[in-house]
Amino acid sequence: MSKQDIRVPDIGDFDRVPVIEILVEEGDAVEAEQSLVTLESDKATMEVPSPAAGRLLELKVAEGDEVSEGDVIAVIEAESTGESADEPSDSPEGTSSSESSSQSSGQASDQSSGQPSNESPRQSPRQSSNQSSNQSSNQSSNQSTGKEGDPEDQAQAGGGSSAEAGRHASSSERDYDLVVLGAGPGGYTAAFRAADLGLKVALIERYPDLGGVCLNVGCIPSKALLHVGQIIDAADQLGAHGVRFGAPDIDLDTLRDYKNGVVSKLTGGLAGMADKRGVAVVHGRAEFSGSHSITIESKDESREVTFGQCVIAAGSRVIEIPGIPMEDPRVMDSAGALELEEIPARLLVVGGGIIGLEMACVYRSLGSEVTVVELMDQLMAGADSDLVRPLHQRMKKLGVTFFLETRVAGVEAGESTLTARFEGRDAPDSADFDRVLVCVGRRPNGDQINAPAAGVEVDERGFIPVDGQMRSSRAHIFAIGDLVGQPMLAHKASYEGKVAAEVAAGHKRAADARVIPSVAYTDPEVAWVGLTEGQAKKQGLDYGVGKFPWAASGRALGMDRSEGLTKLLFDNGSGQLLGAGVVGSHAGDLIAELTLAIEMSCTAEDIGLTIHPHPTLSESVMMAAEVYEGTITDLYLPKKK
């Protein structure tokens, strides 16, 4: 036996590289070429191996330390060349550290994820309560991702001396470089991007078709039906201008086939793209069985797959309300409502958020008498009230009944009707309905995947805390989408999926989007991004507002849809755009320009001096900026004193 210093090998042109993970402990028996620590530069990750077998006497570094070529990281008592290979060891039977080293290549704790270079990535916008818990829980959890308490990470032999960027475990050691759990917009984006970057990828989905809730029973089918409803309403509205059609003759089977056909085109396209990229698609219900393994249960078999890294994209599920018999087929969630089994004469929508109002628009246009009950004092509580008001007024005009500040105390299932009991302002004690649609939100599926088996932290609500690179408390396991906090939106999940895939492949990426837009595809549409005026007031900001009413828009008047409004919030000091909201036809398309304007730190002058085509709805953005600047000529506004 002889003492031997272990030094940082040649790491190229890099200097002062952070130590992001310690893979062993003092006193451990180590093998030749076993990885001891993981380093991360701004280009790649690398592991420092032991040059010889022996016992680790001393660690000279800790997580977060920075090292350069030649620095001593550890001291070992090396075995002499002639020693018997059968000499007993204090390590557990069959234990080695290759799995630990494979999992950790490229992993960063919260402590180091913001410090690998002089540039500190911005944190991805997410629920404020999650931000605070992410910073505390991930730092402690990631620092402990080593040998202690994690036998799964030591179960496989044959670790290498370094890792190719993005390959945290060779394909000979694991079934896949990356496994993605869930094939919704975030999941398939992560899988496809990772495959494009050269990783061997498996995409696991419990349902027969790819696309998740969004493509199959959410965003896409609802938009197809909303389009149909808007055409019905537009045709009816033309009667006031001399063009009259008869009442619509709705063939529900054909309408359902149209909706399903739209979905099939997209889900089939995803399957084709997965095949072309070489992504293995595995169907079944999946749960973690270890830190590098997942068990998949299908109708015919149970199998286990192993992975170097994983992206959890398992989404969310609907929230059920006590006292409402969800087992009754006449009580629907949003997915059930999209099945279009019938057009009920009387429909109760429980929840006045985006999904509830979208489905209220669909069923009203198809002929149902719709009642919406909302617990809050405003529909669509996340948006400013002046944006929601035109929608509320139009829906009331078209016959929808609203009860705000009202609770559904219970629903009793009768033979021919469902009787709902109400508690709240202006609401009757009870009313009868033919169908009830429950749309009061969704809860994350973090508690459905046996995350503790992988050492992944899940909070009491089912959310998985993540850092700015979408890493969970286990640095080789990422989480994205609905699982990591609000807003629960497909475009947020897709963005996060791409970030996770690129980080997994060794790229220097972080979720640094400044804002995430929200859109209600109602009629009229409501869209907003950045700060709302309510938030600006609450924060005590010095801000100003520019509003342009669509009653002064030639394009909106020509469409007979002048109820719209474009609203911009600016910082009075810098003039930069802080937030924006639009209500009106195609508001969801207009909000993209305003999202980019916030990302680019545009000022009111930048927007107002950008030439917009005329006549369009988009020029209302320019004119709202001109209102704030006081340069508007398409309206007469008294000069500010």
Q: Look at residue 164 and tell me whether its pLDDT is greater than 50.
A: no
Spell out the SS3 assignment of 141-196. Answer: HHHCCCCCCCHHHHCCCCCCCCCCCCCCCCCCCCCEEEEEECCCHHHHHHHHHHHH
Tens digit of each residue's pLDDT (9 = 90 or more) over 448-499: 999 999 999 999 999 999 999 999 999 999 999 999 999 999 999 999 999 9
How would residue 93 be classed by pLDDT, with cut points 50, 70 and 90? very low
Q: Are strands 35-40 and 17-22 parallel, antiparallel or unpaired?
A: antiparallel
Residue entry with tokens 């220097």: 508
CA 481 to chain centre: 2
How would residue 98 be classed by pLDDT, with cut points 50, 70 and 90? very low
Model pLDDT, residue 135: 37
DSSP for residue 471? B
CB 67 within 8 A of CB 134: no
- 309: which 2 tokens? 């890294």
CA 627 to chain centre: 35
Model pLDDT, residue 108: 34
Span 150-154, mean pLDDT?
39
Q: Look at residue 92 and tell me whether its pLDDT is greater than 90.
A: no
Model pLDDT, residue 19: 86
Lowest mean pLDDT, pick from 45-59, 76-90, 579-593: 76-90
- Say which residue, 164 or 341, is predicted with more confidence: 341
Residue entry with tokens 């290979």: 85
Model pLDDT, residue 155: 34
Model pLDDT, residue 31: 85
Tens digit of each residue's pLDDT (9 = 90 or more) over 517-536: 999 999 999 999 999 999 99
CA distance 602 to 599: 8
- For each of the domains in the chain, give its residue range(s) and CATH number, in order of start: 1-85 (2.40.50.100), 176-211+278-317+444-504 (3.50.50.60), 331-440 (3.50.50.60), 524-629 (3.30.390.30)
CA 612 to chain centre: 32
Q: Look at residue 60 and tell me whether its pLDDT is greater than 50.
A: yes
Percent of residues, the chain, with pLDDT higher than 90: 72
Q: Using CA atoms in the order 30, 34, 38, 43, what is the torsion angle rounded to 10 degrees?
A: 170
Tens digit of each residue's pLDDT (9 = 90 or more) over 284-322: 999 999 999 999 999 888 999 999 999 999 999 999 999
CB 411 within 8 A of CB 431: no
Spell out the SS3 assignment of 354-399. Answer: HHHHHHHHHHHHHCCEEEEECCCCCCCCCCCHHHHHHHHHHHHHCC
Span 604-623, mean pLDDT?
98
Global pTM reads: 0.75
Model pLDDT, residue 12: 65
Q: Look at residue 241 and tell me whether its pLDDT is greater than 50.
A: yes
Q: Look at residue 599 and tell me whether its pLDDT is greater than 90.
A: yes
First CA to last CA distance, the chain = 88
- 345: which 2 tokens? 């004469």
Query: Does an H or E element contain 477, and which?
Result: strand 477-479
Model pLDDT, residue 635: 93
In the predicted model, what is the mean pLDDT of the chain?
86
- Say which residue, 77 or 407, is predicted with more confidence: 407
Q: Look at residue 360 and tell me whether its pLDDT is greater than 60.
A: yes
CB 403 within 8 A of CB 371: yes
- Say which residue, 96 or 289, is predicted with more confidence: 289
Q: Please, what is the Cα angle at 50 between 46 and 54, to 5 degrees?
A: 155
Q: Look at residue 59 and tell me whether its pLDDT is greater than 50.
A: yes
Contacts of residue 234, Cβ cutoff 8 Å, sequence gap at least 6: none
How would residue 568 be classed by pLDDT, with cut points 50, 70 and 90? very high
DSSP for residue 106? T
Model pLDDT, residue 285: 96
Model pLDDT, residue 171: 46
- 280: which 2 tokens? 């293995």
Nearest-CA neighbor of 478 among 289, 312, 252, 327?
A: 312
CA distance 532 to 543: 11
Spell out the SS3 assignment of 58-106. Answer: EECCCCCCEECCCCEEEEEEECCCCCCCCCCCCCCCCCCCHHHHHHHCC
Model pLDDT, residue 637: 87
How would residue 107 be classed by pLDDT, with cut points 50, 70 and 90? very low
Model pLDDT, residue 444: 96
CA distance 338 to 326: 16
- Say which residue, 601 or 45, is predicted with more confidence: 601
CB hemisphere CA count around 139 (13 angstroms): 9
At residue 570, what is the residue type? F
- Whether 614 is catalytic: yes
Catalytic residue among 168, 283, 491, 614, which? Answer: 614
Helices (H) and strands (E) in the chain, counts: 16, 30
Contacts of residue 531, Cβ cutoff 8 Å, sequence gap at least 6: 539, 541, 543, 569, 578, 579
Span 587-609, mean pLDDT?
98
How would residue 9 be classed by pLDDT, with cut points 50, 70 and 90? confident
- Say which residue, 257 or 11, is predicted with more confidence: 257
Neighbouring C-beta atoms of residue 431, cutoff 10 Å: 18
- 594: which 2 tokens? 């305003």
- Say which residue, 22 or 620, is predicted with more confidence: 620
How would residue 255 be classed by pLDDT, with cut points 50, 70 and 90? very high
How would residue 37 be classed by pLDDT, with cut points 50, 70 and 90? confident
Model pLDDT, residue 40: 73
CA distance 620 to 559: 15
CB 101 within 8 A of CB 23: yes
